[in-house]
């Protein structure tokens, strides 16, 4: 398996989808570096899974490079990069008093889209130097978009744009890195039970889950991690954005 004895790095790996993924990759035999703004939590999870934690802002080139270097120190080099870091505060184009501040839109685009590009370019740069496996594969990157990329709701202008950008760059990146044996895929989750929703009352979460055709509930972070593991294991999964959403299609609001 690609993950067995390999170095892996999970950005945003201290909680939610990222934490579940870090735990799954470690269980599958990878040495995982958990890179997250929440450095103490990253360290705590790393201790539990036998990995390493790193306090990282995905826009900080030096911090990302250092975390990638640590992951690449694994015996088989860095083989797996998963991008789960992101933010999603709501924001309409126009507020009650006119156009909303540009800075709020810029921050979401920078963290979600530019941050993903930053981690990808450095991780891929490390992967291309790996010894290829029997199929010529040197690594795989899995990014996180959202169903908002395809049916974003009112108030998700920047968030939907950032996630659409991640989905949109998946195929050209896969084509570019194919010659080096590095795959790129993206997961577009629907409504998942993550820390982002943890503060909501249970009846509200139940209501959100009931919007999903089947299964009529919130997604579990472990189900996201399962899909990451499937992408890692299957070399034909490349250049694709996969919706993981129970067939939900979001209403305008």
Q: Which residues form the catalytic set?
A: 159
| H-state helical runs in the chain | 16-27, 39-49, 61-72, 102-109, 115-127, 148-151, 157-177, 195-198, 202-210, 221-233
Residue with tokens 């990638």: 68
Q: Which two tokens stand for residue 141?
A: 């990157």
112 half-sphere exposure, CB direction, 13 A CA radius: 26
The tokens for 252 are 């305008």
Q: Tokens representing 248?
A: 């939900």
Residue 141: enclosing H or E segment and its boundaries? Answer: strand 139-144
Burial class (CB in 10 A: 0-12, 13-18, 19+), 156: buried
What is residue 170's three-state secondary structure? helix
Contact 39, 54 (CB under 8 A): yes
Count CA atoms within 13 Å of residue 235 on its CB side: 14
Grouping H, G, I as helix, E, B as strand and the rest as coil, residue 239 is: coil
């Amino acid at each position: 398996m690609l993950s067995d004895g390999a170095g892996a790095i999970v950005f945003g790996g201290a909680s939610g989808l990222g934490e579940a993924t870090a735990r799954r990759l470690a269980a599958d035999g990878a040495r995982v570096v958990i890179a997250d703004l929440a450095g103490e939590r990253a360290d705590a999870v790393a201790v539990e899974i036998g990995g390493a934690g790193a306090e990282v802002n995905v826009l900080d080139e030096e911090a990302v490079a250092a975390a990638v270097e640590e992951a690449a120190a694994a015996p088989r080099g860095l083989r797996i990069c998963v991008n789960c870091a992101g933010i999603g505060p709501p924001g309409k184009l126009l507020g009650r008093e006119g156009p909303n501040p540009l800075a709020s839109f810029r921050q979401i685009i920078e963290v979600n889209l530019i941050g993903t590009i930053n981690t990808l370019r450095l991780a891929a740069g490390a992967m291309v130097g790996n010894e290829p496996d029997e199929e010529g594969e040197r690594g795989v990157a899995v990014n996180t978009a959202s169903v908002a990329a395809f049916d974003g709701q009112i108030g998700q202008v920047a968030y939907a744009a950032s996630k659409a950008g991640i989905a949109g760059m998946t195929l050209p990146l896969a084509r570019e890195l194919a010659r080096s044996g590095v795959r790129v895929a993206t997961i577009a989750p629907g409504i998942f039970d993550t820390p982002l929703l943890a503060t909501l009352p249970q009846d509200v979460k139940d209501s959100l889950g009931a919007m999903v055709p089947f299964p009529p509930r919130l997604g579990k972070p472990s189900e996201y991690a399962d899909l990451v593991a499937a992408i890692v294991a299957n070399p034909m999964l490349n250049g694709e954005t996969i919706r993981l959403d129970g067939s939900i299609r979001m209403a305008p609001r």
